[in-house]
Amino acid sequence: MMKAAEIAAAVQRRERSAAEFVRASLDAADRLNPTLHAFLELFHEQARQQAAEVDRRIAAGERLPLAGVPLAVKDNICLGPTPYGGRTTCASRFLEHYRSPFTATAAQRAINAGAVIIGKTNLDEFAMGSSTEHSAFGPTRNPHDPERVPGGSSGGSAAAVAAGITPLALGSDTGGSIRQPAAHCGIVGVKPTYGRVSRYGLVAFASSLDQIGPMASDVRDAALLLETLCGVDPLDATTSRVPPPSLLPTLDEPLPQLVIGVPKQARSRGNHPAVDDAMDRTIAALAGMGAEIVEVDLPLLEASIAAYYIVAPAEASSNLARFDGVRFGRRAELRDGEGLYELYCRSRAEGFGPEVKRRIMLGTHVLSSGYYDAYYTTALKVRRRILNDFNAAFTGGHGRPPCHALLMPTTPGPAFRIGEKTQDPLALYLEDIYTVSVNLAGLPAMSIPRGFADIDGKRLPVGVQIIAPPFEESTMLRVARLLEAR
């Protein structure tokens, strides 16, 4: 599969047609999806029509930055009835037959820019998980080793890009769900600053943490898609008025004397050697380019897991209260004598899977009177201190220069085997040690591929993470771009 930037350029110049790229993408999906299960739905007919529409717009003289680029969209991002039919399942039995009446702003912006959506991708139910095994419709497999998970929750989107089915995908990241699957599948995944990209039409998991972002096979393509997504949206009051960044034109501009912070906690005893090796090689590459490498302290990194697994389920338990069997999705059949209460209980008991129920129970517990201060208020204090620690790293002081960006692993290890962690929710939550603090602090961060771990004759990708100050996506992408060349 060609890069998105090349596809868009070729379609814009009318050397090739959107129709031909979309056909190739759908053919690849037909060939690979039976093994990978990256897509829950494919838009054969609608995508062909949309490609023809893009070709017409180009012929009429429009300039479209994503002209004819096949795009995969995570199935917790709503697409309205036209042209894509509206099904938005969140990989949940609860929403198996739900049809959204509206389209998410992020998806609409990509469509306006000329992208053609070829399908909706698999995820952990309601984006709760790190392996895509919590999908009610079966797991997605990692294209590098089908016995292993692709990561999650945006595992379908990551697998679609890694397998070359689409050059670009949309994911969502509440605690790592774009970056972690990107690392496990060997691609680039960007979680924008909180407020950069509209959440309108993203089915809410934890509203103070959720962001939509791009997944791509290289940094330029990720920047290309991110540029179309950013900006204020009247339909999402949390979108920022900070002007959208100009990412592509600055991508290859030289950076000032770079200072990169490496948290001492980045070298945890739990890291796979290939992860430490990827960090070492990245630090050496940056130093070789003249960057100053400084050690920074994120003392609450380990506590970030506990804080996240209080804040995120608390918000989830509130957000998921809307699924009551009355207004959205699944409605249980009532037996004689049963009433509204049974309707709520039975619809929710039948509709939600075990991980979603676990989150709702956790969240309800930490918000309940008597426990609220002990858990929820404490977690918010930890959240604030994590933000302060990041700020201290970015602003410098005590003889240390301000950091332009921080470098951390994305995950402690490469992709694990399907089934390996399903019996132990805590082991799965620990997978998020390097990602959740970024969401708690609202920062932009991205994962880039940085080599492989050789395990059982398979080459499993390893990623590293670049974290930047709020709204510094441009710097972050330029650092990533520098590294891509080495």
Return residues touching ligand GLN (CB under 6 A).
127-130, 153, 173-177, 205, 312, 432
92 is annotated as an active-site residue? no
* CB of 55 or CB of 432, closer to ligand GLN: 432
Cβ(19)–Cβ(116) below 8 Å: no
Closest approach, Cβ 430 to ligand GLN, in A, equals 10
437 is annotated as an active-site residue? no
* CB of 12 or CB of 304, closer to ligand GLN: 304
* CB of 129 or CB of 363, closer to ligand GLN: 129
CA 391 to chain centre: 23
Total Cβ atoms within 10 A of residue 15? 8
Closest approach, Cβ 429 to ligand GLN, in A, equals 7
* CB of 129 or CB of 409, closer to ligand GLN: 129
74 is annotated as an active-site residue? yes
DSSP H or E segment with residue 312: helix 301-319
Nearest one of 151, 161, 188 to 413, comparing CA atoms = 151
Nearest one of 185, 189, 187 to 143, comparing CA atoms = 185
Nearest one of 215, 242, 10, 19 to 106, comparing CA atoms = 215
Alpha helices (H) along 207-272 = 219-229
d(CA 331, CA 327): 9
Choose the catalytic residue: 17, 74, 120, 421: 74
Choose the catalytic residue: 177, 198, 304, 347: 177
Nearest one of 95, 99, 102 to 356, comparing CA atoms = 95
Closest approach, Cβ 176 to ligand GLN, in A, equals 5
| Residue recorded with tokens 């804080």 | 307
Choose the catalytic residue: 130, 131, 153, 198: 153
Strand order across the 292-296 sheet:
39-42, 116-121, 70-74, 168-173, 211-216, 188-191, 445-455, 458-467, 405-409, 259-263, 292-296
- Strand residue runs (E) in 203-263: 211-216, 259-263
Closest approach, Cβ 14 to ligand GLN, in A, equals 40
Residues paired with residue 190 on neighbouring β-strands, in sequence order: 446
* CB of 25 or CB of 142, closer to ligand GLN: 142
**Tokens standing for residue 309:** 């697994």
d(CA 236, CA 108): 14
* CB of 46 or CB of 317, closer to ligand GLN: 317
Cβ(148)–Cβ(417) below 8 Å: yes
Radius of gyration of the chain (CA): 21
Closest approach, Cβ 154 to ligand GLN, in A, equals 8
Q: What CA–CA distances, in Å, run from 43 to 71, 107, 120, 409, 465?
A: 11, 15, 8, 36, 33
* CB of 205 or CB of 390, closer to ligand GLN: 205
Nearest one of 385, 231, 224 to 300, comparing CA atoms = 385
* CB of 116 or CB of 428, closer to ligand GLN: 428
Closest approach, Cβ 443 to ligand GLN, in A, equals 14
Closest approach, Cβ 123 to ligand GLN, in A, equals 8
SS3 471: coil
Cβ(177)–Cβ(154) below 8 Å: yes
Closest approach, Cβ 153 to ligand GLN, in A, equals 4
Alpha helices (H) along 103-243 = 105-112, 155-162, 179-185, 219-229
Count, in order, helices (H) and strands (E) of the chain: 16, 11
Name the amino acid, one letter, at 43.
Answer: F
User: Hey, which residues are catalytic here?
Assistant: 74, 153, 177
